């Protein structure tokens, strides 16, 4: 039986450190599912593991793409599953780590099948959005799929403010003539592994302090220079990311550098809260304090081997 040890939790909680310790213990590789660490131009601002960490265990899907490439969560799902199939031939235990909930779900559960959408519909939605804004997308979804709109309003209201996600919902509704929700749960994805999901958590004050310290460290390590180099490409989807957006506003003179840094900290804290909300819905996840003795985590994992093999 194959096992995919999956480490989840908010940013700056210590997932990388734990993943390396477990990879060394089990003699296996690490699959990264941080949707921004894929991009080689975004090293400092995405807290890519340092050279020593990368050399401590084999890593995959870190800085393997360019911000100029089109790379979707569906692309990642296919590539990650193919890589895992290859890795499981060498070792029946592998590790996946990252804070991008959608990408974690893509590997563990897979995606539903959605219809191909006519490019003209997509272009029209983009054009209408540029003129009418997020309200247009919200009203379109509310009319086309009131059930899904209501579900998002209650369970995930921040998604209603996400233009990329909302455009996708609306284009499926308009392109298929069916509610977006009608395509959810129709496809059963088979996986050739058993997931063992581990969550790391801390008191909110501790988590926020760790985030603030990380932002200061990023600034010391050259985030400002990295963002300045990327500034000409600020419209790219990959760069619509906390840590870069705020510095782009500084470069255009909208805000001061000190204010930009405080905004990065604030927006990263908000992002961490959203990560917790997403991951706390994870089925069968076992949560540990971020400072727990790693021997207890290893013991928990090895007990899962026994349970699933009995």
Q: What was the pLDDT predicted at 187? A: 62
pLDDT tens figures, 184-242: 877 657 899 999 999 999 999 999 999 999 999 999 999 999 999 999 999 998 999 99
pLDDT tens figures, 89-116: 999 999 999 999 999 999 998 877 788 8
Q: What was the pLDDT predicted at 96? A: 98
Q: What was the pLDDT predicted at 308? A: 79
Residues 248/69, Cβ–Cβ less than 8 Å: no
Q: What was the pLDDT predicted at 132? A: 95
Q: Any known ligand binding at 83? A: no
Q: What was the pLDDT predicted at 80? A: 97
* The residue to which tokens 């919200």 are assigned: 138
pLDDT tens figures, 13-69: 999 999 999 999 999 999 999 999 999 999 999 999 999 999 999 999 999 999 999
Q: What was the pLDDT predicted at 310? A: 64
Q: Any known ligand binding at 65? A: no
Q: What was the pLDDT predicted at 282? A: 84
Q: What was the pLDDT predicted at 39? A: 96
- Please report, for the chain, the start and end positions of each structural domain, with discontinuous segments joined by +: 3-111+189-309, 119-183
Q: Any known ligand binding at 127? A: no
Q: Any known ligand binding at 14? A: yes
Residues 19/301, Cβ–Cβ less than 8 Å: no
Q: Any known ligand binding at 74? A: no
Q: Any known ligand binding at 11? A: yes
Q: What was the pLDDT predicted at 131? A: 94
Q: What was the pLDDT predicted at 194? A: 95
SS3 track for 24-53: HHHCCCEEECCCCCCECCCCCCCCCCCHHH
Query: What is the dihedral sign for C-alpha 289, 290, 296, 302?
Result: positive
Q: What was the pLDDT predicted at 149? A: 96
Q: Any known ligand binding at 16? A: yes
Instruction: Please give the CATH number for the structural domain made up of 3-111+189-309.
Output: 3.40.50.300
pLDDT tens figures, 250-294: 999 999 999 999 999 999 999 999 999 999 988 789 999 999 999
H or E segment at 136?
helix 134-144
Q: What was the pLDDT predicted at 156? A: 81
* Predicted TM-score (pTM) of this structure: 0.81
Q: Any known ligand binding at 264? A: no
Query: Would you identify the CATH topology of the domain 119-183?
Result: Histone, subunit A (1.10.20)
């Amino acid at each position: 039986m194959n096992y995919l040890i999956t480490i989840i939790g908010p940013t700056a909680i210590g997932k990388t450190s734990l993943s390396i310790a477990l990879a060394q213990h089990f003699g296996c590789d690490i699959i990264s599912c941080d949707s921004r660490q894929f991009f080689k131009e975004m090293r400092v601002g995405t807290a890519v593991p340092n050279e020593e960490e990368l050399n401590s265990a084999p890593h995959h899907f870190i800085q393997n793409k360019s911000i100029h490439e089109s790379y979707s969560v569906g692309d990642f799902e296919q590539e990650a599953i193919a890589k895992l199939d290859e890795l499981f031939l060498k070792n029946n235990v592998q590790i996946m780590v990252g804070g991008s909930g959608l990408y974690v779900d893509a590997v563990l559960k897979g995606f539903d099948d959605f219809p191909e959408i006519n490019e003209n519909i997509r272009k029209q939605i983009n054009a209408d959005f540029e003129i009418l804004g997020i309200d247009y997308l919200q009203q379109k979804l509310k009319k086309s799929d009131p059930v899904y709109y209501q579900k998002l309003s209650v369970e995930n209201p921040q998604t209603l403010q996400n233009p990329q996600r909302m455009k996708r919902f609306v284009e499926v509704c308009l392109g298929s003539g069916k509610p977006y929700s009608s395509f959810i749960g129709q496809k059963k994805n088979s996986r050739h592994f058993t997931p063992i999901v581990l969550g790391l958590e801390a008191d909110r004050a501790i988590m926020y302090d760790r985030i603030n310290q990380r932002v200061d460290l990023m600034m010391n390590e050259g985030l400002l220079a990295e963002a300045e180099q990327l500034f000409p490409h600020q419209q790219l989807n990959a760069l619509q990311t906390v840590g870069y957006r705020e510095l782009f506003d500084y470069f255009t003179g909208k805000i001061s550098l000190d204010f930009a840094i405080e905004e990065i900290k604030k927006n990263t804290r908000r992002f961490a809260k959203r990560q917790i909300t997403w991951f706390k819905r994870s089925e069968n996840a076992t949560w540990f304090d971020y400072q727990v003795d790693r021997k207890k985590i290893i013991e928990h994992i090895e007990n899962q081997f026994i349970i699933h093999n009995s």
